[in-house]
Amino acid sequence: MRAVAVLAVLFYHANGSWLKAGYVGVDVFFVISGFIITALLTERSGKVDLAAFYASRVKRIVPAYFSMLGVVAALSAVLFVPDDFAFFFDSLKSSAWFTSNHYFAHFGSYFAPRADELPLLHTWSLAIEMQFYLFFPIMVICIPARWRLPAFLLLAIVAFAWVGYRTLG
């Protein structure tokens, strides 16, 4: 399923007419990741070891991610004019803190840079994933097992309502 999700995104970026809804692949990847993390946190007997959970996420993601950020920053320092590099540096800071989803969310105006002018735009999805990894385990631990399903259903309903409000309003 992860391969299908990744292929959907790749086909979308290769040629948008091949797969009109390529970002569905990102959504599928998020669902799979959420399912796996939920299973890791809830199906084990005993107490959840948050330190080990966070350490495994950091070990899996951070080395490759920061290597990529370093390469992109080095190339940008060479290729960009100073004003463009200053703009890039703001996106680099938000990417390093895994908050680039918030940073890039406000790039919808007529004068906003095009997607191909934002070398770190793709980091938005990993920022969301890392925020999920940070907050979801704490929610799982803090909510008693019998209340998890109703609590997460309510949270999902509120989130969908908020997105609908923001999209239509």
127: number of Cβ within 10 Å = 19
Rounded to the nearest integer, the mean pLDDT of the chain is: 87
CA distance 116 to 126: 18
Q: DSSP class of residue 117? A: G
Asked if 90 and 100 count as a contact pair (C-beta separation under 8 A), the reply is: no
Does the pLDDT at position 53 exceed 70?
yes
For 3-21, what is each residue's pLDDT tens digit?
Answer: 877 777 777 777 777 777 6
For 89-136, what is each residue's pLDDT tens digit?
Answer: 999 999 999 999 999 887 766 556 676 678 999 899 999 999 999 999
pLDDT of res. 110: 53
Asked if 55 and 63 count as a contact pair (C-beta separation under 8 A), the reply is: no
pLDDT of res. 76: 96
Question: What is the DSSP secondary-structure string of 121-152?
Answer: GGGHHHHHHHHHHHHHHHHHHHS-HHHHHHHH
